[in-house]
Amino acid sequence: MKFKAVIFDLDGVICFTDEYHYRAWKAMADEMGIPFDRTVNNRLRGVSRMASLDIILEKYTGPALSQAEKEKLAQKKNDLYRTSLAEMSPKDLSDEVRETLNALRDMGLRLAIGSSSKNTPFILGQIGLAGFFDAVSDGNNITRSKPDPEVFVKAADMLGMAPELCLVVEDAVSGAEAGHAGGMKVACLGDAAEHGAGDYNMRSIRELIDIVKEGEN
Ligand code: B16
Ligand code: MG
């Protein structure tokens, strides 16, 4: 088999929390009179919470904000976001994601998460995947967010796998760049696939099953 491990981004790949991020940032931006739409939102994919806030504030024209004020805004967004996460359940794990994960595991691949989100443990618990992955590298164990490769390099280290044996799965252009910077091949979905950012650009996560088999004798 071409790959021995698959490292999944969380938001936008395993579950569709990207819509909840959008709604929470939109509520915050509307309240502050900052223009914010889905085009700006696409730039936030894979980017840490504080870096996302800085991108949104590019269009802010009010009085300068202190670091404490910025942290308060980020906290407000996160509280709103977590209200949506609290409503999630194992029903929010789609059949195609569940079946693909199980198929890859049955093929003997090691499976990990590589997410910028500090809410990763909470989300995995909500959708019934706590304890499922062999390694979880997330916003709580990194100091630099995507496009820096740190989150994926740490995931590969946790698995004890060389980067060239790992396939990263991403929906964010920044995440695809991070995977490549870490010396890994990248399979993309959604926005990143539309940008042709991956070595493989997929319409469905099910395509992973053939991708990992590619080159098999
Ligand atoms: P949090 P991923 C990323 O998750 C999201 O795509 C990005 O929009 C978010 O700002 C970031 O996590 C931080 O999330 O505020 O929950 O710590 O795509 O890397 O799984
Ligand atoms: Mg993502």
Per-residue pLDDT of the chain in tens (217 residues, 90 and over written 9): 889 999 999 999 999 999 999 999 999 999 999 999 999 999 999 899 999 999 999 999 999 999 999 999 999 999 999 999 999 999 999 999 999 999 999 999 999 999 999 999 999 999 999 999 999 999 999 999 899 999 999 999 999 999 999 999 999 999 999 999 999 999 999 999 999 999 999 999 999 999 998 856 4
Distance CA 106, CA 108 (A): 5
Global confidence as pTM: 0.94
| Catalytic site includes residue 9 | yes
- Looking at all shown ligands, the one closest to residue 189's CA atom is 2
129 lines ligand 1 (CB under 6 A): no
Collect all residues with Cβ–Cβ distance below 8 Å to 128 and sequence separation of at least 6: 89, 90, 93
118 lines ligand 1 (CB under 6 A): yes
Q: Domain spans of the chain? A: 5-16+89-214, 18-85
Domain 5-16+89-214: assigned CATH number: 3.40.50.1000
Please determine, looking at this structure, whether the domain spanning 18-85 carries the CATH number 3.90.580.10: no
